[in-house]
Amino acid sequence: MSTNKDYFSLAEIAKICKTDVTGNQLNNPVIFDLLTDSRNITSIDNCLFFALISKRNDGHKYIPELYQKGMRSFVISILPDDINDYPEASFILVKDTLKALQTITANHRKLFNIPVIGITGSNGKTIVKEWLYQLLSDDKKIVKNPKSYNSQIGVPLSVWQMKAEHELAIFEAGISEPDEMDKLQAIIQPTIGIFTNIGHAHDENFIHKEQKIAEKLKLFTKVSALIYCADYLEIKERILKSESLRNIPFFTWSKKNTANLSIQQIDKNTKKSTITAIYNTEKLSIEIPFTDDASIENAIHCWVVLLYLNYSNEFIEQRMRLLHPIAMRLELKEGVNNCSVINDSYSSDIDSLSIAIDFLNQQKQHLKKTVILSDILQSGREDKHLYSEIADLLEKKNVNRLIGIGHAISKQAQLFNLEKSFYQSTDEFLKDFLYSNFNNETILVKGARIFEFEKINQVLQQKAHETVLEINLNAIIHNLNYYRSRLNPGTKLMAMVKAFSYGSGSFEIANTLQFHHVDYLAVAYADEGVELRKAGITLPIMVMNPEEQSFDTIIKYKLEPEIYSLRVFSLLEEIIKLHLAGSQQVINIHIKLDTGMHRLGFEHKDLAELTERIKNNPQIQVQSVFSHLSASEDSQYDDFTHQQINLLTSMCKTIEDGLGYKVIRHILNSAGIIRFPEAQFEMVRLGIGLYGIASVGIEQKELENVGTLKTIISQIKHIPKNDTIGYSRKWIAKEDMNIAIIPIGYADGLNRKLGNGKGKVLINNMFVPIIGNICMDMCMVDISGIDAKENDEVIIFGEKYPVTYLAEEIDTIPYEILTTISRRVKRIFYQE
């Protein structure tokens, strides 16, 4: 073994993989860090990169870039074309790099003989894991998955964090299809198991629910105890029938039947719940600061675990009162003084800090990056070693400024070699810091809940009214990857971010797309492209509607205009003569063809003159030739669609023959990607599908909801029979009724046609009609007969009430609903 008992040397890892090191034999570092994403480098010398291959990507193509950055250790399944290009690199060649990652971390797990809690189930895994950490971390040094790293890749990376200092490990495991849990069991090797519950997630990948339960139960085949709720009868029956669990002791809880912990009563009041139970004939109770059923179930699971671990109920009761919510996402919002603010103000540990800084570094809209960081609590490590590691992390992640808050971090100020300031408390920071010192930067607010960093967030965020559009960046990534999975290898992807990214946001969406390696962006007008360039977007950007006065700007910001007529081409020629004569600068253009939609575009008769003029101007280069499909989503027009595709093919050949070089061709939109895969050519354009809206019904189940438009109840009123409501007295109360006034109106993008009972909103999972005329800034809804109070959340559209349904109410399309949402509606971007 290596001299560091927690980790393996490179040569030892090769031996675990039953192979040898290829390339530089002298390079044999002890490996501390495993890297699967080339964008998230934290160290070089003691890091091992795994070139993972998926349906959508291949890690091998990032090896040259990593080598240039100093990386020297790689696990690969395909040798480089010329290994001599990497004279200092060491390669471990295996058949399957993911299997190698899992095998290496399974061997790492065997180095430790400590209790390991393994958690699975459809819901609650992350909350139970994080709450167990809250309950026990004052007494034990604990290692756990960061955030929800519970996948085939996330679990190995989590288990790799185990060190000799740890006394307890808590790992969650998630699966999406059969034959996955065996692999995670071998890596986690849990000694205590928790099965939280069973739901409908990933049902489509299993024959039936019993198969899904059986797959999840494979995590527990070697545990010393399995904890579950006996009220989930399908789980209970499957456990009792399982041969592999026959000798496993069970530790159960139930509200209905006999169990180790029998729940007798649950009393809820405004802000807390008291749970009473019988355990070993003794009556016990706990109190938690939550009232929702999901939190109560998660808390009982934690209660049972602590009882099994022989903690006294007095101890448990005391700790349960201190449970606090788990922030499951990072939020990005507009801040004061042209800043962007990332809110992660509910947790503080070094693993989640690294994830949050990676998200910070995705943001390219500002050059300066600031981290506001509290003391890291309950780490179980000496402060000097802990904050040395954090200082190293901030330096390697190119953070420009640190604002440290707390006694511990302040005492280690000398460790941080960057712009810095320190405060003993949040109140001291709020009192003494000059907020004018925040300007044109991205700020990560990251702190333990006890520091109440929500106060800092309130000060830093740009003021806006209570109606917000939440944008789920994870859903954007999921939808992008879904469409990528439908593409042929090598097919490029252009993402449409015009019209403020279909109302979803500008640079925030573009940053995410750039980080995930789309090939092109497309905007409608030059000023949209300029905004992206100023926000640090370096991807090629096509401008679809170049105006005469915008060509100077297009050239200045290296945008690429769509050329759709000889008139527009003449404008480009004039600008080149005026500003670029004698220079070597080449302008990339995209030629738009009219293949039948009869909007913008060249016709066949124009092509000879066009190609001749392009050939005669060495400063113009055609990047792509494209067209728009008129009805790709509608099968009754498939013959016409094929006609358009064939016309693009022939017209493009004419252009290529005239120019003497090949160009990128593209005609498919979101619906076309699904319905006409044979016409992918060299590139496709992804628009509305990226934002979670299927143009073809069969694909909707594959997409995730991206945007949720929500507001709150401002006021509740009782309206007597025969009174009228709203402008023009359009709504008459036919009987006594209760109404809620909500702060969203047509100036926010809520269409007036939705008034007077035509539209509806969702309050506390109940649909209520919009009544009266919709006003400029607000509207009224009928809440008679439902449980609602002022400040309750109101969903205009979202996952439970898709924007497509809202559009159908007024006979329009989702595009119109999304693109008319006013910019005064604050966008909140979040990533889990």
Six-digit token string for 18:
């039953």
Six-digit token string for 499:
């019209």
DSSP 686-740: E-GGGGT--SSGGGGGGS---EEEEEE--EEEEE-TT-EESGGG-EE-SS-EEEE
Return the closest-CA partner of residue 10 out of 33, 39, 36.
33
> Is 368 marked active-site?
no
Pairing mode, strands 492-496 and 401-405: unpaired
Q: In what order do the strands lie in the sheet with 33-35?
A: 21-23, 90-93, 73-76, 47-50, 33-35
The answer to whether 436 and 337 are in contact (CB under 8 A) is yes
Distance CA 552, CA 589 (A): 14
- Can you name the residues that pair with 251 across neighbouring β-strands? 227
Q: In what order do the strands lie in the sheet with 683-686?
A: 664-666, 620-626, 587-592, 560-563, 541-543, 520-523, 492-496, 683-686
**Cβ neighbour number for residue 736 with a 10 Å cutoff:** 12
Six-digit token string for 623:
């990047």
Return all residues near 246 (Cβ < 8 A) that are at least 6 apart.
Answer: none
Distance CA 718, CA 157 (A): 56
Pairing mode, strands 282-288 and 47-50: unpaired
Distance CA 111, CA 113 (A): 7
**Cβ neighbour number for residue 70 with a 10 Å cutoff:** 12
Distance CA 423, CA 410 (A): 7
Six-digit token string for 392:
């190293």
The answer to whether 504 and 691 are in contact (CB under 8 A) is yes
> Is 727 marked active-site?
yes
Q: Out of 218, 498, 592, 760, which one is annotated catalytic?
A: 498
The answer to whether 106 and 186 are in contact (CB under 8 A) is yes
Distance CA 203, CA 181 (A): 16
User: Which amino acid is residue 338, in one-letter code?
Assistant: N
* Alpha helices per DSSP H over 461-525: 473-484, 498-502, 507-515
User: Which amino acid is residue 101, in one-letter code?
Assistant: L
- Can you name the residues that pair with 718 across neighbouring β-strands? 738
Return all residues near 243 (Cβ < 8 A) that are at least 6 apart.
Answer: none
- 718 burial class (0-12, 13-18, 19+ CB within 10 angstroms)? exposed
Q: How far is CA 615 from CA 194, 211, 609, 655, 660, in A?
A: 69, 64, 10, 11, 9
**Cβ neighbour number for residue 566 with a 10 Å cutoff:** 13
**Cβ neighbour number for residue 117 with a 10 Å cutoff:** 26
Pairing mode, strands 715-719 and 492-496: unpaired
The answer to whether 217 and 195 are in contact (CB under 8 A) is yes
Return all residues near 650 (Cβ < 8 A) that are at least 6 apart.
Answer: none
Distance CA 553, CA 551 (A): 5
Inter-helix orientation angle 607-615/638-659, to 10°: 40
Distance CA 718, CA 738 (A): 5
Residues in the chain: 832
- Can you name the residues that pair with 405 across neighbouring β-strands? 374, 423
Q: Out of 727, 789, 800, 805, which one is annotated catalytic?
A: 727
**Cβ neighbour number for residue 517 with a 10 Å cutoff:** 15
* Catalytic positions: 498, 727
